[in-house]
Structure 1
Amino acid sequence: MDSIIKFEKDIINSLSIGIIVASQQGKIIFINKAIREMTGYKRTEIKTMDDWYKKACPDPEYRKKVKDYFQYDSADNTSDRTYKIITAAGDHKYFNFRYSKLENEKMLFEIIDISHRIVQKRKLENQKLIFENLFTNSLEGIVLLDQNLKVLNANKKFEEIFEVSKPDILNKNINKVAVPNIDANVLKQAQEKFKHNQEWEREISYTVNNKIKYCNVHVFAVENKKHGELIYVALDNITENKKREFELKEVKERLELAVEGANIGVWDWNVEEEYIHFNKSWAQMLGYEYSNLGNDLDTWLKLVHPDDRDQALKDIRVHLNGQSEEYFNEHRLKTKNGNWKWIRDIGKVTDRDEKGNAVRIVGIHIDIDQEKRAAEEIEYLSNHDELTGLYNRRYFNEELKRLHNSRQYPISIIIGDMNKLKDINDTYGHSMGDRYIKRAAEAIKRTVRTEDVVARIGGDEFAVILPETDYSKADDVAERILARIEEGNKIEDLPVPLTIALGYETTDCTNQNHSIKNIKRCYNKADQRMYEQKFADRC
């Protein structure tokens, strides 16, 4: 098997055309001998397509242009294109790249050195040889002009691009055959340039039968024995690519408008370079100007509420490690005026390297502060009494269930019932009655611990759950409540003194000798004792 593979490699290495096989991620898997001979680059110097771009296209602007063309061509299923590259010796060469997809998401690049053709464009001695080697079957539109810019010849591709027939355009001025949408002064300067044997290259749009077409235009002079110095024009039709470019731009603009209109903050994190881009909405959501923000992770981390930071970072790490399909977290961020605002943060890794490490993650911030606060308000109202702010009967019952199986025994319960509230309502009105209720609630709340549960379980009824409190301590609490109410009566301007009947009981299911081992029974017993106290006060 190894001998067969070696044989195949030997065959590929014997080819005069260059062969490169690369993965979809840009890793170069194989390069044949012709590539090394054409470029002078060693296999160890070009391990990835990025290495190739940096070596062959050292100019950053041209390198970006080459990469963009490759992306356009891949999307358009265009199979080949010619590029100018720099060899290891620093020479310029022109390579024709043909690429196709292989199995297992690999790409095959077939590379032909056509530098000699480009040189021939300048040096071939007669027009016939130009046509035979390059002109007729070129993938670019080619037209040959005299010094007066009259058409001497054109190939089929030129006829196709400009929707003309060669016999109809011979001896006509090129600017009437292919109408350029370019400033007259720029066009004049360009014509002077290539008339004096200087190359000129530019992207130009043309009006063709009321349609706009885009071409990359390359113009230079060639020598011809019969006609002297001629002007050679090569046009690469990029109309479809431009249409896609415009469409992508429109989609991008619409998306940006939608994001801006929806007040969505966008962040784009380059993990490798430790750089984060935030959009204006991200900054404005927190009251900042865009210029106030740095472009690193600390910009965000410093704003996250200390109580939310660890979970937010944990959720990010889980997603970066590939353990979740997306990053999702809700946390509070500090606004410029010092307040805290709830944010829903959603992100997703869009690029990973060959080892699976996250390279780029993009996400959005959505302001959910009002939504969160409304939910908190609803939750608060569902568990609290609106008049007193104490817990309501629903929450009290849930706490009884929870504490039933807890380890917080002994548990004591105090039940309180205000005296003569109906008389107060009838005599002085319900607003006065509400005042008495709130006074009683305040006295009870201020007497007990923060971990104790104080609830208003009826119109004039209150209940207190005291975890880890025995009967003796419950008695002390009840006495302090009554004392606080008495003190309040001395300073509070009320028509009649506030009084309340209290009953209490203790349960301890962990103590076999305890008489009450059921928390519900404890509640009923405390309630019974409250009524006994109430009846005793009346007698």
Structure 2
Amino acid sequence: MDSSLKLKNNLINNLSIGIVVTNQQGDILFTNKAIKEMTGYTEAEVKTMEDWYKKAYPNPKYRKKAKRFFQYDLENNIQDRTYKITTAAGNYKYFNFRYSELEAGKTLFEIIDISYRIEQKQKLENQKIIFENLFTNSLEGIALLDQDYKILNINKKFEEIFNLSKNNITDKNIFDVVTLFEKNKNIKKAMKKIRDKDNWEDQVRFKVDNQIKYCNVHIFSVENEELENLTYVAFDDITENKEKAKELKEVKERLELAVAGANIGIWDWNVENKYIHFNENWTEMIGYQDSELNNTVHTWFNLVHPEDKARVLKDIKEHLDAKNEKYFNEHRLKTKAGSWKWIRVIGKVTEVNENGNPVRMVGVHIDIDKEKRAKKENEYLSNHDELTDLYNRRYFNEEIKRLDDSRQYPISIIIGDLNKLKNINDNYGHIMGDRYLKLTAEAIKESLRTEDLVARVGGDEFAVILPETDSDAAEAVNQRILENIEKKNIVADLPEPLSIALGYETIDFNNQQNSYQNIIECYHKADKKMYEQKFAQR
């Protein structure tokens, strides 16, 4: 074996990544010792990719998903992905897999244990093609130095990190090539220590094109008979992560200010153990202090209005079952004072386990109580007569349209018109006239069932819809209204008797075809009968 190959083999033996090589048939041609240390599985236990899947993913459902992801990555040239696997000891570990296609249909896997930092150096078997692929395509920038710290070789990632060309820096001292942001004597001291089989790892800042770059730097010694001990330096560029962390911190601070200013309640639910965390805004929104509420999902659910619970559970379940992209619901929560407050909830599953089941869900609570009450009041005013508190003509007309598809036949309609309202207004004033209208509304309403509908459809005109009411029953209601009118005359101190002209008509099931037209015709017939009675009374 020539010295160059020995050098490469030594380098392979000291890299801290796991290596696996497979062929097109799924046979595992090579695994390094790091794989066994990381997983606990031996070569005898894992000879094929199928063996690996069975060991690493004992759950058939997740195993199928892992295979599908891997196939997708190969087809779409996605070179790395993180998986959660099961070790021989039954523990879970997170591995980052990087795939590379080798010659003759072989596939190289570079595997990094990201569950914790592996401190001991990993040894690789002496396969030249594996080393060349690893060195060239490593996720870390790599520099190989001689005894005087002159650069023997670098990889593409090193060129990318420091914006340098291999041709221009070979045989130059590493400290003349890269510029430290601050003087770091520890690095130079470490260079001497690693010759005694020690290693050094720390975070270092570099100046690259007048900008700061952050790198995790790992330095260790590599044995080589021909060139004596060499120095291996690995640079993991974490600049982007640093910037993101800084940006995330700023965003978090802004978000916290926004949340506090907008009085938005935030909750974080661990679905598996049913633990839920509420922020201060959430508890204060319903009048509690943090210490007064237990951090369980039952605490929250017990505060939900009984009428809203079924709908809340349905919406949550549909989101947990991935039927809806997010959880959205509006419901009432009981405040500490005992009143009910309307809350808008928006939430989303943010984490799933290896089986694809939700384990974490995060969301916000927004106080919409004033908005809900205002909307309800507006809806009420738009559908009701302000004076009598009965439904108005607009709502009555909409109800007539809804009866078009109704199966509540027979349907009866009563039309009533208050007698002599103009004379009352002229002689005693509109306040007295309003009193007559209110008394009439009360008399009609007291004569009806809860499923019946009465509306003030004109100045002195009232209309009643009686679903599932035949002609005889309609006549009885008609008579009951007149009786209640007479009762009002007895108890009310009125300058003139309260009286009303009534007319009713019924449409039965046989007339259901073209029902809307028939209902309108029924209305007009009842109206006509009312006027006939009014004329007869005069």
Q: One fold, TM greater than 0.5?
A: yes
Residue 34 in structure 1 maps to residue 30 in structure 2:
yes
- Partners of 1:188 and 1:372 in 2: CA distance: 69
Residues 212 and 438 from structure 1, CA distance in 2 versus in 1: closer, same or farther, beyond 3 angstroms? same
> What SS is found at the alignment partner of 1:394?
helix
User: Aligned runs of 1:472-487 on 2, under 5 Å?
Assistant: 473-487=473-487
Map of 2:344 onto structure 1: 343
User: Aligned runs of 1:451-470 on 2, under 5 Å?
Assistant: 451-470=451-470
- Partners of 1:145 and 1:349 in 2: CA distance: 49
Normalized against structure 1, the TM-score is what?
Answer: 0.61
Offset at 1:486? 4.2
> What SS is found at the alignment partner of 1:389?
coil
Offset at 1:203? 1.6
- Partners of 1:202 and 1:178 in 2: CA distance: 16
Offset at 1:429? 3.5
Offset at 1:441? 1.4
Map of 1:216 onto structure 2: 216
- Partners of 1:518 and 1:223 in 2: CA distance: 101
User: Aligned runs of 1:128-167 on 2, under 5 Å?
Assistant: 140=141, 153-154=150-151, 157=154
- Partners of 1:112 and 1:441 in 2: CA distance: 81
> What SS is found at the alignment partner of 2:391?
coil
Offset at 1:213? 1.9
> What SS is found at the alignment partner of 2:458?
coil
Offset at 1:221? 7.9
- Partners of 2:223 and 2:522 in 1: CA distance: 112
Task: Give a deviation string over 1:257-316, Cα, whole Å, max 9, x none.
Answer: 697366666666565565656666655655555666666554554344333333443344
Does the 8 Å CA contact 2:503/2:533 hold for their aligned counterparts?
Answer: no
Q: Which amino acid aligns with 1:334?
A: L
Does the 8 Å CA contact 2:392/2:455 hold for their aligned counterparts?
Answer: yes
- Partners of 1:369 and 1:175 in 2: CA distance: 67
Map of 1:414 onto structure 2: 414
Deviates more, 1:518-527 or 1:411-420: 518-527
Map of 1:71 onto structure 2: none
Normalized against structure 2, the TM-score is what?
Answer: 0.61
> What SS is found at the alignment partner of 2:308?
helix
- Partners of 1:425 and 1:304 in 2: CA distance: 51
> What SS is found at the alignment partner of 1:503?
strand
Offset at 1:389? 1.6
- Partners of 2:149 and 2:272 in 1: CA distance: 55
User: Aligned runs of 1:207-286 on 2, under 5 Å?
Assistant: 207=207, 210-218=210-218, 234-242=233-241, 245-246=244-245, 249=248, 253=252, 256=255, 260=259, 286=286
Residues 109 and 168 from structure 1, CA distance in 2 versus in 1: closer, same or farther, beyond 3 angstroms? closer
Residue 18 in structure 1 maps to residue 20 in structure 2:
yes
Q: Which amino acid aligns with 2:422?
A: K
User: Aligned runs of 1:35-114 on 2, under 5 Å?
Assistant: 35=31, 39=36, 41=42, 42-43=45-46, 47=53, 99-100=99-100, 109-110=108-109
> What SS is found at the alignment partner of 1:307?
coil
Task: Give a deviation string over 1:433-466, Cα, whole Å, max 9, x none.
Answer: 3233223212322332211111101101112223
Task: Give a deviation string over 1:73-98, Cα, whole Å, max 9, x none.
Answer: x9xx9979xxxxxx989xxxxx9986
Residues 192 and 265 from structure 1, CA distance in 2 versus in 1: closer, same or farther, beyond 3 angstroms? farther
Task: Give a deviation string over 1:313-347, Cα, whole Å, max 9, x none.
Answer: 3344445445x452454331314343131425464
Residues 168 and 341 from structure 1, CA distance in 2 versus in 1: closer, same or farther, beyond 3 angstroms? same
Does the 8 Å CA contact 1:504/1:527 hold for their aligned counterparts?
Answer: yes
Map of 1:332 onto structure 2: 331
- Partners of 2:111 and 2:409 in 1: CA distance: 87
Map of 1:501 onto structure 2: 500
Residue 383 in structure 1 maps to residue 383 in structure 2:
yes
- Partners of 2:142 and 2:189 in 1: CA distance: 23
- Partners of 2:136 and 2:380 in 1: CA distance: 82
Does the 8 Å CA contact 2:214/2:242 hold for their aligned counterparts?
Answer: no
> What SS is found at the alignment partner of 2:434?
helix
- Partners of 2:96 and 2:537 in 1: CA distance: 107
- Partners of 2:290 and 2:188 in 1: CA distance: 44
Does the 8 Å CA contact 1:97/1:109 hold for their aligned counterparts?
Answer: no
Percent of matched pairs sharing the same residue: 45
Q: Which amino acid aligns with 1:18?
A: V
Map of 1:399 onto structure 2: 399
| Aligned CA-pair RMSD | 5.8
Residues 166 and 415 from structure 1, CA distance in 2 versus in 1: closer, same or farther, beyond 3 angstroms? closer
- Partners of 1:163 and 1:422 in 2: CA distance: 95
Does the 8 Å CA contact 1:216/1:238 hold for their aligned counterparts?
Answer: yes
- Partners of 1:185 and 1:17 in 2: CA distance: 34
Map of 1:444 onto structure 2: 444
Task: Give a deviation string over 1:473-493, Cα, whole Å, max 9, x none.
Answer: 545444444444444445545
Aligned residue pairs total 450
Map of 1:68 onto structure 2: none
Does the 8 Å CA contact 1:436/1:498 hold for their aligned counterparts?
Answer: no
- Partners of 2:79 and 2:413 in 1: CA distance: 83
Residues 290 and 237 from structure 1, CA distance in 2 versus in 1: closer, same or farther, beyond 3 angstroms? same
User: Aligned runs of 1:302-381 on 2, under 5 Å?
Assistant: 302-322=302-322, 324-327=323-326, 329-337=328-336, 338-343=339-344, 345=346, 347=348, 368-381=368-381
Q: Which amino acid aligns with 2:206?
A: Y
Q: Which amino acid aligns with 2:331?
A: R
Offset at 1:501? 1.4
Residues 287 and 79 from structure 1, CA distance in 2 versus in 1: closer, same or farther, beyond 3 angstroms? same
- Partners of 2:217 and 2:404 in 1: CA distance: 85
Residues 175 and 431 from structure 1, CA distance in 2 versus in 1: closer, same or farther, beyond 3 angstroms? farther
Offset at 1:414? 3.1
- Partners of 1:195 and 1:387 in 2: CA distance: 97
Q: Which amino acid aligns with 2:340?
A: N
Residues 45 and 297 from structure 1, CA distance in 2 versus in 1: closer, same or farther, beyond 3 angstroms? farther
Residues 199 and 264 from structure 1, CA distance in 2 versus in 1: closer, same or farther, beyond 3 angstroms? same
Does the 8 Å CA contact 1:162/1:178 hold for their aligned counterparts?
Answer: no
Does the 8 Å CA contact 2:392/2:457 hold for their aligned counterparts?
Answer: yes
Residues 248 and 100 from structure 1, CA distance in 2 versus in 1: closer, same or farther, beyond 3 angstroms? farther
Deviates more, 1:159-168 or 1:431-440: 159-168
Offset at 1:112? 9.9
- Partners of 1:318 and 1:523 in 2: CA distance: 45
Q: Which amino acid aligns with 2:20?
A: G
Does the 8 Å CA contact 1:135/1:142 hold for their aligned counterparts?
Answer: no
Q: Which amino acid aligns with 2:502?
A: G
Residue 204 in structure 1 maps to residue 204 in structure 2:
yes
Does the 8 Å CA contact 1:19/1:34 hold for their aligned counterparts?
Answer: yes
Offset at 1:418? 2.1
